[in-house]
Chain A
Amino acid sequence: MNNLVEIINLTKKYGANVAVNNLTLNLPKGKIIGLLGPNGSGKTTLIKMLNGLLTPTEGTIMIDGNYVGPATKSKVAYLPDRTYLTMNQTIREILDFFQDFYADFSRERAEEMLKSLGIDPAVKMRTLSKGTKEKVQLILVMSRNASLYILDEPIAGVDPAARDYILRTIINNYNPEATVLISTHLIEDVEQVLDEVIFMRYGQLVLYTSVDNIREEKGKSVDAYFREVFAC
Protein backbone atom coordinates (compact mmCIF):
# COMPACT_ATOMS: atom_id res chain seq x y z
CA MET A 1 0.00 0.00 0.00
CA ASN A 2 1.73 3.10 -1.17
CA ASN A 3 -0.80 5.61 0.11
CA LEU A 4 -0.05 6.75 3.60
CA VAL A 5 -3.09 8.95 3.94
CA GLU A 6 -6.46 8.32 2.36
CA ILE A 7 -9.05 11.06 2.62
CA ILE A 8 -12.46 10.13 1.26
CA ASN A 9 -15.36 12.54 0.82
CA LEU A 10 -14.26 14.51 3.85
CA THR A 11 -16.64 17.24 4.93
CA LYS A 12 -16.77 19.51 7.97
CA LYS A 13 -19.64 21.84 8.59
CA TYR A 14 -20.15 24.34 11.35
CA GLY A 15 -23.83 24.97 11.05
CA ALA A 16 -24.24 26.59 7.66
CA ASN A 17 -20.52 27.19 7.18
CA VAL A 18 -18.76 24.47 5.20
CA ALA A 19 -15.10 24.50 6.19
CA VAL A 20 -14.07 21.41 4.25
CA ASN A 21 -16.19 20.43 1.30
CA ASN A 22 -16.22 16.83 0.08
CA LEU A 23 -12.46 16.49 -0.08
CA THR A 24 -10.94 13.37 -1.60
CA LEU A 25 -7.18 13.05 -1.63
CA ASN A 26 -4.47 10.42 -1.28
CA LEU A 27 -1.02 11.17 0.05
CA PRO A 28 1.86 8.82 -0.80
CA LYS A 29 4.77 7.83 1.39
CA GLY A 30 8.19 9.40 1.20
CA LYS A 31 7.19 12.85 0.04
CA ILE A 32 7.46 16.34 1.43
CA ILE A 33 4.18 18.00 0.57
CA GLY A 34 3.16 21.62 0.88
CA LEU A 35 -0.38 22.44 1.96
CA LEU A 36 -1.08 25.87 0.57
CA GLY A 37 -4.08 28.11 0.45
CA PRO A 38 -5.42 31.48 1.55
CA ASN A 39 -6.84 32.01 5.02
CA GLY A 40 -10.14 30.25 5.45
CA SER A 41 -9.35 27.70 2.76
CA GLY A 42 -9.88 24.79 5.18
CA LYS A 43 -6.21 23.91 5.69
CA THR A 44 -6.37 24.26 9.46
CA THR A 45 -9.63 22.32 9.63
CA LEU A 46 -8.11 19.53 7.56
CA ILE A 47 -5.05 19.41 9.78
CA LYS A 48 -7.18 19.25 12.92
CA MET A 49 -9.14 16.35 11.49
CA LEU A 50 -5.98 14.47 10.54
CA ASN A 51 -4.87 14.84 14.14
CA GLY A 52 -8.14 13.82 15.70
CA LEU A 53 -8.71 17.26 17.20
CA LEU A 54 -11.92 17.62 15.25
CA THR A 55 -14.54 15.12 14.15
CA PRO A 56 -15.61 15.12 10.49
CA THR A 57 -19.25 15.77 9.64
CA GLU A 58 -18.97 13.24 6.82
CA GLY A 59 -16.32 11.14 5.17
CA THR A 60 -13.31 9.24 6.45
CA ILE A 61 -9.63 9.59 7.01
CA MET A 62 -7.29 6.62 7.06
CA ILE A 63 -3.67 6.95 8.06
CA ASP A 64 -1.48 3.93 7.39
CA GLY A 65 -4.54 1.74 7.29
CA ASN A 66 -6.11 2.97 10.54
CA TYR A 67 -9.00 5.27 11.28
CA VAL A 68 -8.04 8.37 13.23
CA GLY A 69 -7.62 7.46 16.89
CA PRO A 70 -4.91 6.42 19.36
CA ALA A 71 -3.40 4.07 16.76
CA THR A 72 -2.85 6.87 14.26
CA LYS A 73 -1.84 9.37 16.94
CA SER A 74 1.07 7.15 17.84
CA LYS A 75 2.28 7.42 14.25
CA VAL A 76 1.59 11.08 13.60
CA ALA A 77 3.95 13.81 14.80
CA TYR A 78 2.22 17.16 14.93
CA LEU A 79 3.77 20.59 15.24
CA PRO A 80 0.96 23.10 15.80
CA ASP A 81 1.34 26.81 15.15
CA ARG A 82 1.26 27.65 18.84
CA THR A 83 3.06 26.92 22.09
CA TYR A 84 1.40 23.79 23.35
CA LEU A 85 3.88 22.57 25.94
CA THR A 86 3.44 23.14 29.66
CA MET A 87 5.40 26.25 30.52
CA ASN A 88 6.51 25.43 34.05
CA GLN A 89 8.18 22.20 33.11
CA THR A 90 11.85 21.84 32.30
CA ILE A 91 12.86 20.60 28.88
CA ARG A 92 14.17 17.45 30.50
CA GLU A 93 10.77 16.73 32.04
CA ILE A 94 9.17 17.19 28.65
CA LEU A 95 11.67 14.75 27.13
CA ASP A 96 10.72 12.24 29.84
CA PHE A 97 7.07 12.79 28.99
CA PHE A 98 7.51 12.27 25.27
CA GLN A 99 9.65 9.22 25.83
CA ASP A 100 6.97 7.78 28.08
CA PHE A 101 4.11 8.21 25.66
CA TYR A 102 5.67 7.81 22.24
CA ALA A 103 7.41 4.54 21.51
CA ASP A 104 8.98 6.06 18.39
CA PHE A 105 10.59 8.96 20.25
CA SER A 106 14.37 9.09 19.99
CA ARG A 107 15.67 10.81 23.10
CA GLU A 108 19.25 10.70 21.84
CA ARG A 109 18.32 12.58 18.70
CA ALA A 110 16.46 15.21 20.69
CA GLU A 111 19.33 15.72 23.12
CA GLU A 112 21.79 15.94 20.28
CA MET A 113 19.75 18.60 18.51
CA LEU A 114 19.29 20.57 21.71
CA LYS A 115 23.01 20.44 22.31
CA SER A 116 23.85 21.58 18.78
CA LEU A 117 21.63 24.60 19.36
CA GLY A 118 23.09 25.31 22.77
CA ILE A 119 19.81 24.79 24.61
CA ASP A 120 20.19 23.57 28.18
CA PRO A 121 17.66 20.81 28.98
CA ALA A 122 17.60 21.78 32.65
CA VAL A 123 15.84 25.09 32.07
CA LYS A 124 12.11 25.67 32.28
CA MET A 125 10.19 26.31 29.09
CA ARG A 126 8.94 29.54 30.57
CA THR A 127 12.38 31.10 30.54
CA LEU A 128 12.99 30.61 26.83
CA SER A 129 12.52 33.16 24.07
CA LYS A 130 9.74 32.63 21.57
CA GLY A 131 12.13 31.49 18.84
CA THR A 132 13.81 29.00 21.15
CA LYS A 133 10.47 27.62 22.31
CA GLU A 134 9.56 26.97 18.69
CA LYS A 135 12.85 25.26 18.06
CA VAL A 136 12.29 23.01 21.07
CA GLN A 137 8.85 22.08 19.79
CA LEU A 138 10.28 21.34 16.37
CA ILE A 139 13.05 19.20 17.87
CA LEU A 140 10.49 17.15 19.78
CA VAL A 141 8.51 16.50 16.63
CA MET A 142 11.52 15.70 14.47
CA SER A 143 12.87 13.33 17.10
CA ARG A 144 9.98 11.03 16.53
CA ASN A 145 10.17 8.29 13.93
CA ALA A 146 6.65 8.94 12.77
CA SER A 147 4.87 7.92 9.59
CA LEU A 148 3.31 11.31 9.10
CA TYR A 149 4.71 14.64 10.16
CA ILE A 150 2.31 17.55 10.10
CA LEU A 151 3.99 20.92 10.46
CA ASP A 152 1.71 23.93 10.75
CA GLU A 153 3.64 27.11 9.87
CA PRO A 154 6.98 25.78 11.12
CA ILE A 155 9.01 28.80 10.05
CA ALA A 156 6.57 31.65 10.44
CA GLY A 157 7.67 33.46 13.60
CA VAL A 158 11.33 32.66 13.30
CA ASP A 159 14.47 34.51 12.14
CA PRO A 160 16.13 33.56 8.79
CA ALA A 161 19.01 31.63 10.34
CA ALA A 162 16.58 29.57 12.38
CA ARG A 163 14.54 29.00 9.24
CA ASP A 164 17.57 27.50 7.53
CA TYR A 165 18.12 25.28 10.55
CA ILE A 166 14.53 24.13 10.52
CA LEU A 167 14.52 23.33 6.81
CA ARG A 168 17.83 21.51 7.12
CA THR A 169 16.43 19.48 10.02
CA ILE A 170 13.41 18.53 7.95
CA ILE A 171 15.66 17.43 5.11
CA ASN A 172 18.04 15.54 7.39
CA ASN A 173 15.14 13.76 8.94
CA TYR A 174 13.82 12.59 5.60
CA ASN A 175 12.67 9.00 5.57
CA PRO A 176 11.31 7.33 2.41
CA GLU A 177 8.68 5.54 4.49
CA ALA A 178 7.33 8.73 6.00
CA THR A 179 5.54 11.78 4.66
CA VAL A 180 5.89 15.38 5.73
CA LEU A 181 2.97 17.76 5.32
CA ILE A 182 3.90 21.42 5.66
CA SER A 183 1.21 24.03 5.86
CA THR A 184 2.56 27.50 5.25
CA HIS A 185 2.12 30.94 3.79
CA LEU A 186 5.86 31.38 3.27
CA ILE A 187 5.94 29.43 0.02
CA GLU A 188 9.06 31.09 -1.33
CA ASP A 189 11.15 29.99 1.62
CA VAL A 190 9.94 26.47 1.57
CA GLU A 191 9.38 25.45 -2.04
CA GLN A 192 12.89 24.11 -2.63
CA VAL A 193 12.17 21.48 -0.06
CA LEU A 194 8.82 20.36 -1.43
CA ASP A 195 8.11 17.41 -3.70
CA GLU A 196 4.45 18.12 -4.21
CA VAL A 197 1.92 20.81 -3.39
CA ILE A 198 -1.74 20.89 -2.53
CA PHE A 199 -3.68 24.08 -3.24
CA MET A 200 -6.92 24.51 -1.32
CA ARG A 201 -9.67 27.10 -1.41
CA TYR A 202 -13.16 27.29 0.06
CA GLY A 203 -12.61 23.90 1.66
CA GLN A 204 -11.94 22.23 -1.66
CA LEU A 205 -9.01 20.87 -3.57
CA VAL A 206 -7.87 23.24 -6.30
CA LEU A 207 -4.71 21.45 -7.34
CA TYR A 208 -2.50 18.57 -6.29
CA THR A 209 0.65 18.20 -8.32
CA SER A 210 4.39 17.86 -8.20
CA VAL A 211 6.46 20.95 -7.85
CA ASP A 212 8.43 20.14 -10.98
CA ASN A 213 5.25 20.02 -13.00
CA ILE A 214 4.56 23.61 -12.09
CA ARG A 215 8.09 24.70 -12.92
CA GLU A 216 8.28 22.81 -16.20
CA GLU A 217 4.79 23.42 -17.49
CA LYS A 218 4.13 26.88 -16.20
CA GLY A 219 7.71 28.06 -16.14
CA LYS A 220 7.05 29.64 -12.77
CA SER A 221 8.01 29.13 -9.18
CA VAL A 222 5.32 27.69 -6.95
CA ASP A 223 5.16 31.01 -5.16
CA ALA A 224 4.52 32.87 -8.42
CA TYR A 225 1.99 30.32 -9.58
CA PHE A 226 0.17 30.50 -6.27
CA ARG A 227 -0.15 34.24 -6.62
CA GLU A 228 -1.56 33.75 -10.07
CA VAL A 229 -4.10 31.15 -9.02
CA PHE A 230 -5.24 32.96 -5.92
CA ALA A 231 -5.01 36.52 -7.15
CA CYS A 232 -7.39 38.78 -5.26
Chain B
Amino acid sequence: MLGKLMKYEWKNIWKAGTLMLLGMFIVTVIGCVVLQMPGVAEFFDSNDVNGVQAWLMISSFVAILILYVIMLLASTWGMLIFLGIRFYRSMYTDEGYLSHTLPVTANQLFLSKVLVSGVWYLFISIGIGISVVALVVSLMTGLLNIGELSSVLTQYNGNIWEFLADAFYELGRTYEEEMGINLLHYGITLFLTYLAGPFIAVVTLFGALTIGQLSSKHKGFMGILTYAGVTILSSIIRSTVQSAFMFGANVMSSPGGFSVSTNSAYDINVITSLLLAAIMYGVSYYIMNRKLNLD
Protein backbone atom coordinates (compact mmCIF):
# COMPACT_ATOMS: atom_id res chain seq x y z
CA MET B 1 0.00 0.00 0.00
CA LEU B 2 2.78 2.41 0.87
CA GLY B 3 4.36 1.75 -2.49
CA LYS B 4 1.10 2.47 -4.26
CA LEU B 5 0.63 5.70 -2.35
CA MET B 6 4.16 6.73 -3.24
CA LYS B 7 3.56 5.90 -6.90
CA TYR B 8 0.57 8.23 -7.08
CA GLU B 9 2.34 10.90 -5.08
CA TRP B 10 5.19 10.77 -7.59
CA LYS B 11 2.74 11.08 -10.46
CA ASN B 12 1.36 14.22 -8.91
CA ILE B 13 4.69 15.92 -8.36
CA TRP B 14 7.09 14.94 -11.12
CA LYS B 15 5.84 17.31 -13.76
CA ALA B 16 6.21 20.44 -11.68
CA GLY B 17 9.48 19.19 -10.24
CA THR B 18 10.98 18.48 -13.62
CA LEU B 19 9.89 21.88 -14.84
CA MET B 20 11.67 23.56 -11.96
CA LEU B 21 14.85 21.59 -12.56
CA LEU B 22 14.66 22.53 -16.22
CA GLY B 23 14.37 26.20 -15.33
CA MET B 24 17.35 25.85 -13.03
CA PHE B 25 19.33 24.18 -15.77
CA ILE B 26 18.57 26.92 -18.29
CA VAL B 27 19.54 29.73 -15.91
CA THR B 28 22.75 27.92 -14.97
CA VAL B 29 23.71 27.40 -18.59
CA ILE B 30 23.14 31.08 -19.35
CA GLY B 31 25.30 31.97 -16.37
CA CYS B 32 28.11 29.64 -17.41
CA VAL B 33 28.07 30.92 -20.96
CA VAL B 34 28.25 34.53 -19.81
CA LEU B 35 31.18 33.80 -17.50
CA GLN B 36 33.03 32.03 -20.27
CA MET B 37 32.66 34.89 -22.72
CA PRO B 38 35.91 36.21 -24.16
CA GLY B 39 35.76 39.71 -22.77
CA VAL B 40 35.47 38.59 -19.16
CA ALA B 41 39.09 37.68 -18.48
CA GLU B 42 40.50 40.81 -19.97
CA PHE B 43 38.02 42.89 -18.08
CA PHE B 44 39.24 41.61 -14.75
CA ASP B 45 42.85 41.79 -15.74
CA SER B 46 43.32 45.05 -17.58
CA ASN B 47 43.67 48.48 -16.06
CA ASP B 48 42.44 50.52 -18.93
CA VAL B 49 38.82 49.75 -19.39
CA ASN B 50 36.70 52.31 -21.10
CA GLY B 51 33.61 53.57 -19.34
CA VAL B 52 30.88 52.19 -21.54
CA GLN B 53 32.40 48.74 -21.77
CA ALA B 54 32.80 48.61 -18.02
CA TRP B 55 29.26 49.74 -17.43
CA LEU B 56 27.93 47.10 -19.82
CA MET B 57 29.99 44.39 -18.18
CA ILE B 58 28.96 45.30 -14.67
CA SER B 59 25.28 45.64 -15.46
CA SER B 60 25.15 42.33 -17.27
CA PHE B 61 26.86 40.65 -14.35
CA VAL B 62 24.45 42.22 -11.94
CA ALA B 63 21.55 41.15 -14.09
CA ILE B 64 22.83 37.58 -14.17
CA LEU B 65 23.36 37.65 -10.44
CA ILE B 66 19.84 38.88 -9.76
CA LEU B 67 18.37 36.32 -12.13
CA TYR B 68 20.37 33.64 -10.40
CA VAL B 69 19.27 34.66 -6.94
CA ILE B 70 15.64 34.76 -8.09
CA MET B 71 16.03 31.31 -9.55
CA LEU B 72 17.47 30.02 -6.29
CA LEU B 73 14.67 31.49 -4.24
CA ALA B 74 12.01 30.32 -6.63
CA SER B 75 13.38 26.83 -6.62
CA THR B 76 13.63 26.39 -2.90
CA TRP B 77 10.69 28.44 -1.73
CA GLY B 78 8.58 27.66 -4.74
CA MET B 79 9.11 23.97 -4.39
CA LEU B 80 8.36 24.02 -0.69
CA ILE B 81 5.18 26.00 -1.23
CA PHE B 82 4.12 23.68 -4.02
CA LEU B 83 4.72 20.62 -1.87
CA GLY B 84 2.92 22.19 1.04
CA ILE B 85 -0.12 23.06 -1.04
CA ARG B 86 -0.23 19.57 -2.54
CA PHE B 87 -0.05 17.98 0.89
CA TYR B 88 -2.70 20.24 2.35
CA ARG B 89 -5.07 19.82 -0.53
CA SER B 90 -4.86 16.05 -0.60
CA MET B 91 -5.09 15.60 3.17
CA TYR B 92 -7.20 18.37 4.62
CA THR B 93 -9.59 19.69 1.99
CA ASP B 94 -12.44 17.83 0.27
CA GLU B 95 -9.86 15.55 -1.32
CA GLY B 96 -9.08 14.43 2.21
CA TYR B 97 -12.36 12.52 2.12
CA LEU B 98 -10.79 10.33 -0.52
CA SER B 99 -7.36 10.05 1.11
CA HIS B 100 -8.60 9.16 4.55
CA THR B 101 -11.09 6.54 3.39
CA LEU B 102 -8.51 4.61 1.43
CA PRO B 103 -7.67 1.24 3.00
CA VAL B 104 -4.37 2.54 4.38
CA THR B 105 -3.18 3.76 7.75
CA ALA B 106 -2.73 7.47 8.40
CA ASN B 107 0.94 6.76 8.89
CA GLN B 108 1.26 5.30 5.41
CA LEU B 109 -0.47 8.34 3.96
CA PHE B 110 1.83 10.74 5.77
CA LEU B 111 5.01 8.78 5.17
CA SER B 112 4.39 8.37 1.45
CA LYS B 113 4.02 12.11 1.09
CA VAL B 114 7.07 12.86 3.22
CA LEU B 115 9.27 10.45 1.30
CA VAL B 116 8.28 11.51 -2.20
CA SER B 117 8.14 15.23 -1.42
CA GLY B 118 11.47 14.93 0.38
CA VAL B 119 13.10 13.20 -2.56
CA TRP B 120 11.99 15.90 -4.96
CA TYR B 121 13.13 18.62 -2.61
CA LEU B 122 16.45 16.80 -2.46
CA PHE B 123 16.62 16.81 -6.26
CA ILE B 124 16.15 20.57 -6.18
CA SER B 125 18.90 20.94 -3.56
CA ILE B 126 21.25 18.80 -5.59
CA GLY B 127 20.32 20.81 -8.63
CA ILE B 128 21.28 23.99 -6.87
CA GLY B 129 24.53 22.43 -5.69
CA ILE B 130 25.46 21.35 -9.18
CA SER B 131 24.47 24.73 -10.50
CA VAL B 132 26.76 26.54 -8.05
CA VAL B 133 29.66 24.23 -8.80
CA ALA B 134 29.14 24.71 -12.52
CA LEU B 135 29.20 28.47 -12.16
CA VAL B 136 32.29 28.42 -9.98
CA VAL B 137 34.11 26.20 -12.44
CA SER B 138 33.02 28.45 -15.31
CA LEU B 139 34.25 31.46 -13.44
CA MET B 140 37.59 29.90 -12.77
CA THR B 141 38.13 28.57 -16.25
CA GLY B 142 36.98 31.91 -17.55
CA LEU B 143 39.77 33.52 -15.59
CA LEU B 144 42.23 30.91 -16.70
CA ASN B 145 44.37 33.33 -18.58
CA ILE B 146 45.03 35.93 -15.95
CA GLY B 147 47.78 36.77 -13.53
CA GLU B 148 48.93 34.52 -10.72
CA LEU B 149 46.14 32.06 -11.23
CA SER B 150 47.48 31.20 -14.66
CA SER B 151 50.95 30.53 -13.29
CA VAL B 152 49.56 28.20 -10.67
CA LEU B 153 47.53 26.43 -13.25
CA THR B 154 50.45 25.92 -15.61
CA GLN B 155 51.93 23.83 -12.83
CA TYR B 156 49.00 21.53 -13.23
CA ASN B 157 49.09 21.73 -16.97
CA GLY B 158 45.68 23.23 -16.92
CA ASN B 159 44.22 20.23 -15.13
CA ILE B 160 41.68 21.88 -12.96
CA TRP B 161 40.54 18.80 -11.08
CA GLU B 162 43.96 17.98 -9.75
CA PHE B 163 44.24 21.58 -8.69
CA LEU B 164 40.98 21.39 -6.78
CA ALA B 165 41.90 18.10 -5.12
CA ASP B 166 45.18 19.52 -3.85
CA ALA B 167 43.49 22.73 -2.77
CA PHE B 168 41.00 20.82 -0.68
CA TYR B 169 43.76 18.80 0.93
CA GLU B 170 45.58 21.97 1.87
CA LEU B 171 42.35 23.43 3.18
CA GLY B 172 41.73 20.38 5.29
CA ARG B 173 45.22 20.42 6.74
CA THR B 174 44.92 24.09 7.60
CA TYR B 175 41.56 23.64 9.26
CA GLU B 176 42.93 20.77 11.31
CA GLU B 177 46.10 22.51 12.43
CA GLU B 178 44.83 25.99 12.99
CA MET B 179 41.38 25.28 14.23
CA GLY B 180 41.37 21.61 15.07
CA ILE B 181 38.36 20.91 12.93
CA ASN B 182 38.38 17.49 11.39
CA LEU B 183 37.42 18.25 7.82
CA LEU B 184 36.33 14.71 7.21
CA HIS B 185 34.04 14.76 10.21
CA TYR B 186 32.76 18.14 9.15
CA GLY B 187 32.34 16.93 5.59
CA ILE B 188 30.37 13.91 6.67
CA THR B 189 28.17 15.97 8.94
CA LEU B 190 27.60 18.47 6.17
CA PHE B 191 26.78 15.71 3.72
CA LEU B 192 24.27 14.11 6.07
CA THR B 193 22.69 17.47 6.76
CA TYR B 194 22.44 18.10 3.04
CA LEU B 195 20.86 14.70 2.50
CA ALA B 196 18.51 14.72 5.46
CA GLY B 197 17.73 18.41 5.25
CA PRO B 198 15.04 18.21 2.59
CA PHE B 199 13.23 15.46 4.46
CA ILE B 200 13.46 17.36 7.71
CA ALA B 201 12.12 20.48 6.02
CA VAL B 202 9.24 18.57 4.51
CA VAL B 203 8.31 16.80 7.76
CA THR B 204 8.39 20.13 9.56
CA LEU B 205 6.10 21.74 6.99
CA PHE B 206 3.66 18.84 6.85
CA GLY B 207 3.69 18.52 10.60
CA ALA B 208 2.93 22.21 11.02
CA LEU B 209 0.04 22.00 8.56
CA THR B 210 -1.28 19.02 10.49
CA ILE B 211 -1.01 20.86 13.79
CA GLY B 212 -2.98 23.68 12.20
CA GLN B 213 -5.86 21.22 11.82
CA LEU B 214 -6.38 21.31 15.54
CA SER B 215 -7.84 24.79 15.48
CA SER B 216 -11.52 25.07 14.80
CA LYS B 217 -11.32 27.92 12.31
CA HIS B 218 -8.91 29.01 9.61
CA LYS B 219 -7.10 25.72 9.72
CA GLY B 220 -4.89 26.45 6.73
CA PHE B 221 -3.80 29.81 8.04
CA MET B 222 -3.04 28.34 11.45
CA GLY B 223 -0.95 25.70 9.72
CA ILE B 224 1.18 28.30 8.00
CA LEU B 225 1.51 30.25 11.23
CA THR B 226 2.60 27.10 13.03
CA TYR B 227 5.23 26.48 10.39
CA ALA B 228 6.63 29.97 10.79
CA GLY B 229 6.61 29.59 14.53
CA VAL B 230 8.31 26.21 14.55
CA THR B 231 10.98 27.31 12.09
CA ILE B 232 11.83 30.42 14.10
CA LEU B 233 11.76 28.53 17.37
CA SER B 234 14.02 25.79 16.11
CA SER B 235 16.52 28.36 14.80
CA ILE B 236 16.62 30.03 18.18
CA ILE B 237 17.06 26.76 20.01
CA ARG B 238 19.74 25.63 17.65
CA SER B 239 21.75 28.84 17.92
CA THR B 240 21.41 28.84 21.68
CA VAL B 241 22.58 25.27 22.06
CA GLN B 242 25.41 25.85 19.63
CA SER B 243 26.58 28.97 21.40
CA ALA B 244 26.33 27.27 24.76
CA PHE B 245 28.54 24.48 23.51
CA MET B 246 31.07 26.78 21.97
CA PHE B 247 31.42 29.11 24.91
CA GLY B 248 31.06 26.40 27.47
CA ALA B 249 34.37 24.91 26.42
CA ASN B 250 36.31 28.13 26.88
CA VAL B 251 36.96 28.46 23.25
CA MET B 252 38.98 31.64 23.45
CA SER B 253 41.99 30.04 25.00
CA SER B 254 42.97 26.83 23.26
CA PRO B 255 42.78 25.56 19.73
CA GLY B 256 42.08 22.14 21.17
CA GLY B 257 39.04 23.40 23.02
CA PHE B 258 37.76 25.04 19.90
CA SER B 259 37.96 21.79 18.01
CA VAL B 260 35.94 19.77 20.48
CA SER B 261 33.23 22.33 20.76
CA THR B 262 33.02 23.21 17.07
CA ASN B 263 32.85 19.60 15.99
CA SER B 264 30.25 18.97 18.62
CA ALA B 265 28.44 22.11 17.65
CA TYR B 266 27.90 20.77 14.19
CA ASP B 267 26.83 17.45 15.60
CA ILE B 268 24.39 19.25 17.85
CA ASN B 269 23.05 21.03 14.82
CA VAL B 270 22.32 17.77 13.09
CA ILE B 271 20.93 16.20 16.23
CA THR B 272 18.52 19.05 16.96
CA SER B 273 17.29 19.03 13.39
CA LEU B 274 16.65 15.31 13.51
CA LEU B 275 14.98 15.69 16.87
CA LEU B 276 12.73 18.39 15.49
CA ALA B 277 11.77 16.17 12.59
CA ALA B 278 11.05 13.26 14.91
CA ILE B 279 8.87 15.42 17.14
CA MET B 280 6.92 16.82 14.20
CA TYR B 281 6.41 13.34 12.84
CA GLY B 282 5.26 11.99 16.18
CA VAL B 283 2.88 14.88 16.75
CA SER B 284 1.42 14.44 13.27
CA TYR B 285 0.91 10.73 13.89
CA TYR B 286 -0.97 11.46 17.07
CA ILE B 287 -3.15 14.14 15.52
CA MET B 288 -4.05 12.10 12.46
CA ASN B 289 -5.00 9.08 14.50
CA ARG B 290 -6.83 10.75 17.35
CA LYS B 291 -7.83 14.23 16.46
CA LEU B 292 -8.71 14.16 12.82
CA ASN B 293 -11.77 16.20 11.95
CA LEU B 294 -12.29 17.04 8.32
CA ASP B 295 -14.80 19.73 7.57
Contacts and interface: CB of A to CB of B under 8 A. Distances in A.
Direct A/B contact, Cβ within 8 angstroms: yes
B178 interface: no
Contact of A84 (B4, B94, B104, B291): B94
Interface residues of B, number: 21
A85 B98 contact: yes
B294 interface: yes
Contacts of B105: 69-70
Nearest to B93: A84
Given A80-B97, A85-B98, A101 B292 contact: no
A70 B4 CA distance: 15
A100 interface: yes
Contacts of B217: none
B291 A55 contact: yes
B102 A83 contact: no
A37 to B, nearest CB: 20
B294 A101 contact: no
A229 interface: no
B290 interface: yes
Nearest to B98: A84
Contact of B97 (A69, A70, A84, A102): A84
Interface string A52-65: 11110000000000
A26 interface: no
A91 to B, nearest CB: 14
Given A82-B94, A86-B95, A101-B4, A55 B290 contact: yes
Chain A interface category by residue count: 20 to 34
A50 to B, nearest CB: 10
A73 interface: yes
B222 to A, nearest CB: 17
Contacts of B289: 55
B101 interface: yes
Interface in B1-48: 1, 4, 8
A69 B104 CA distance: 8
A21 interface: no
A116 B210 CA distance: 42
A51 interface: yes
A71 B4 contact: no
B293 interface: yes
Given A82-B94, A84-B94, A54 B293 contact: yes
B93 to A, nearest CB: 9
Contacts of B292: 53-55
A12 to B, nearest CB: 10
Nearest to B295: A82
B291 A73 contact: no
Contacts of A101: 1, 4, 102-104
A45 to B, nearest CB: 10
Given A52-B100, A70-B1, A82-B97, 10 more contacts: A53-B100, A53-B292, A55-B290, A74-B103, A84-B97, A84-B98, A86-B90, A86-B95, A101-B4, A101-B103
Interface of A: 48, 51-55, 69-71, 73-74, 76, 78, 80, 82-86, 97, 100-102
30 contacts: A48-B293, A51-B100, A53-B97, A53-B100, A53-B292, A53-B294, A54-B292, A54-B293, A55-B292, A70-B104, A70-B105, A71-B103, A73-B101, A73-B102, A73-B103, A78-B97, A78-B101, A80-B94, A80-B97, A82-B94, A84-B94, A84-B97, A84-B98, A85-B98, A86-B90, A86-B95, A101-B1, A101-B4, A101-B102, A101-B104
